[in-house]
């Protein structure tokens, strides 16, 4: 029977919860379809991918992933202050997610921590940094990856769609 291994295409349903609060943070149901990945290529967080190895079609499993193997610990140096004028026209709220673009065109995700009339404190850590996570996984399908998929480093979908 096919099982999750390096260079297999894995389709699975998942529910992601915050271990501490039990809050559901994300799920494949929210996206309307299972997630398909090429295992062993780092498309999902390493702690989850590692713990899914060996799972078989139809198998369900609750997998705990500590913060260090998920989105990392909170890096205090990524909590920074910026001049308020950088945020003109934005109605700021604590906890509000924002996106900014660097001069090089890279998109940066941040969360507003605090603000006053002169300064805005933003957190550039991933929103799930520092959180231990729990995934409820159900493996729907596993198949060998094609040489083309291995070459490109990702699954091409069940219809054999080329990129």
What is the mean pLDDT of the segment spanning 132-160? 88
Burial of 80-103, coded b for 16+ CB within 10 Å and e otherwise, reads eeeeeeebeeeeeeeeeeeeeeee
**Who wins on pLDDT, 37 or 89?**
37
Q: How far apart are CA 29 and CA 47, in angstroms?
A: 22
What is the mean pLDDT of the segment spanning 141-160? 84
Domain topology for 76-123: Thrombin, subunit H (2.40.10)
Question: Which residues of the chain form CATH 3.10.50.40?
Answer: 8-71+129-152
Q: How far apart are CA 132 and CA 130, in angstroms?
A: 7
Q: Mean pLDDT score of the chain, rounded to an integer?
A: 92
Burial of 122-152, coded b for 16+ CB within 10 Å and e otherwise, reads bbebbebbebbbbbebbbbebeebeeebbee
Question: Can you give the pLDDT at residue 159?
Answer: 43
Question: Which residues of the chain form CATH 2.40.10.330?
Answer: 76-123
Res. 101 pLDDT band, cuts 50 70 90: confident
Q: How far apart are CA 128 and CA 107, in angstroms?
A: 18
Tokens of 68: 């260090």
Q: How do residues 16-71 score in pLDDT, each as one tens digit?
A: 999 999 999 999 999 999 999 999 999 999 999 999 999 999 999 999 999 999 99
> Beta-carbon neighbour count of residue 39 at 10 Å?
22
Give the CATH number of domain 8-71+129-152; options: 3.90.580.10, 3.20.20.80, 3.10.50.40, 3.30.750.24. Answer: 3.10.50.40
Question: Can you give the pLDDT at residue 162?
Answer: 36
Return the percentage of the chain with pLDDT > 70, whole number: 95
Phi, psi torsion values for 33, nearest 5 degrees: -160, 160
């Amino acid at each position: 029977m096919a099982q999750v291994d390096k260079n297999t295409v894995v389709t699975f349903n998942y529910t992601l919860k915050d271990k501490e609060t039990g809050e559901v943070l994300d799920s494949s149901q929210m996206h309307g379809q299972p997630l398909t990945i090429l295992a062993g290529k780092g498309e999902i967080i390493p702690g989850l991918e590692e713990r899914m190895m060996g799972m078989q079609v139809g198998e369900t499993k609750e997998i705990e992933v500590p913060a260090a193997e998920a989105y990392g610990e909170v890096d205090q140096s990524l909590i920074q202050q910026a001049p308020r004028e950088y945020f003109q026209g934005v109605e700021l709220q604590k906890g509000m997610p924002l996106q900014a673009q660097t001069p090089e065109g890279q998109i940066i995700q941040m969360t507003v921590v605090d603000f006053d009339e002169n300064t805005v404190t933003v957190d550039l850590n991933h929103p799930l940094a520092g959180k231990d996570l729990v995934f409820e996984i159900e493996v729907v399908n596993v198949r060998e990856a094609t040489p083309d998929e291995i070459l490109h480093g990702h699954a091409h979908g069940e219809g054999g769609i080329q990129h």
